[in-house]
Amino acid sequence: MNGEDFAMSSLKFGYTKPALFVSMHPTTGPESGGTIVHVAGTNFVKSHSAACIFEDIKVVGRVESEERLTCETPMLKPGSHNVSISLNGADVINTYQLYDVYPRMTALYSVPRFGQTIGGTLLAVYGTNFRFDDVIFCYFGCVSVNARYVRPNMIECVTSKWEFVTRVDLSMVTKHGGRSITESGFEFYKPFHILSIYPAIGSLRGGTNVAVRGDYFSQSLGPAQCLFGRIQTNATIESGNLIRCSTPPSSVSGAVEFALTYGSDRFIFQHQGFEYEDAIILEAVLPGVIPNTIDRLVTVYGSRFRNTDDLKCVVNGIQMTLEATFVNES
């Protein structure tokens, strides 16, 4: 201190071989941070002062070995950021490596917002900044499934089986740690079960009122539809066991597949379809005039008659429905 006296200390100063940077992975990540970056090199020395520096933002690093350093990215603005490392908190090694930050992914909502507990519901998730080269997962609560990139504002995923009826959080998670949760969540419901449809035959003109009986029918999550072949019509849910709908017209006679749709789920009635039949052609009614004071047998002539349990004659003028007996098709 004065040019004459001096002091001794037990502290030691160590010299090490120069650390060298080799590579870094990954080199991209979301602006929200949280990505674990692995830095490879040589002569890394374990120290409590190890750090990674993204431009001017320093984060704690961990020296795993003489050849590997890891650190977690901070929140960064989208763009390219120069990366440096420090092993002792003083000396800075410029890696000349850029870390590219992309805008954070945002999941907004899904279509549909509900699916059956047996799984297999296809849903589209809409949001922003989905990336083609990213690995994305849909999380239903804590259960994950792979997502398929469609475009920057849409991905698709298929639900897995769920044990019971419930509502869960729906979130998107990327391989590099990006996460976003939808506001609406996702709801699992018990799948529809169709037992019968009646009648199962109707005119090409459409307008046949069909009663669908089964179990677990509901419209609490959205409207249900009846599907005749490829044509949808509105369904009226009268109870958990009964749905009514009116057939659409068809240009071709014959049987078509019948199903109920709810959201993106389709419930096909495997045991029976709906058959469109050619319209009955009426040619003559004999006798044509009957006194209203007596009962009289009336014969209807024409073609395309069918022997059905509910065959009837309808007299429009007096709003009367009469029992009918099938004789032959013409």
Within 10 A of 157 (CB to CB), how many other CB atoms are there? 23
Residue 270 lies in a domain: yes
Q: Is the pLDDT of residue 267 over 90?
A: yes
The domain of 319 spans 281-323
Residue 12, token pair as written in the block: 């030691």
CATH of the domain at 64: 2.60.40.10
Residue 236 lies in a domain: yes
Q: How far apart are CA 180 and CA 134, in angstroms?
A: 14
Q: How far apart are CA 183 and CA 33, in angstroms?
A: 22
- Among 155, 189, 223, give the residue marking a domain's end: 189
Asked if residues 299 and 325 have their Cβ atoms less than 8 Å apart, the reply is: no
List of E strands, 183-252 = 186-189, 193-198, 201-203, 209-215, 224-228, 231-239, 242-246
The pLDDT tens digits for 79-91 are: 999 999 999 888 8
Residue 180 lies in a domain: yes
The pLDDT tens digits for 187-234 are: 999 999 999 999 999 989 999 999 999 999 999 999 999 999 999 999
Q: How far apart are the first and last CA of the chain?
A: 128
In this structure, the answer to whether residues 164 and 229 fall within a common structural domain is: no
pTM: 0.67
Q: Is the pLDDT of residue 49 over 80?
A: yes
Q: From the centroid of its chain, how far is CA 264?
A: 8
Residue 9 lies in a domain: no
In this structure, the answer to whether residues 309 and 251 fall within a common structural domain is: no
Q: Is the pLDDT of residue 316 over 70?
A: no
Asked if residues 226 and 301 have their Cβ atoms less than 8 Å apart, the reply is: no
Asked if residues 70 and 52 have their Cβ atoms less than 8 Å apart, the reply is: no
Within 10 A of 100 (CB to CB), how many other CB atoms are there? 13
- Among 102, 117, 152, give the residue marking a domain's end: 102
In this structure, the answer to whether residues 197 and 272 fall within a common structural domain is: yes
**How many domains, in total, are found in the chain?**
4
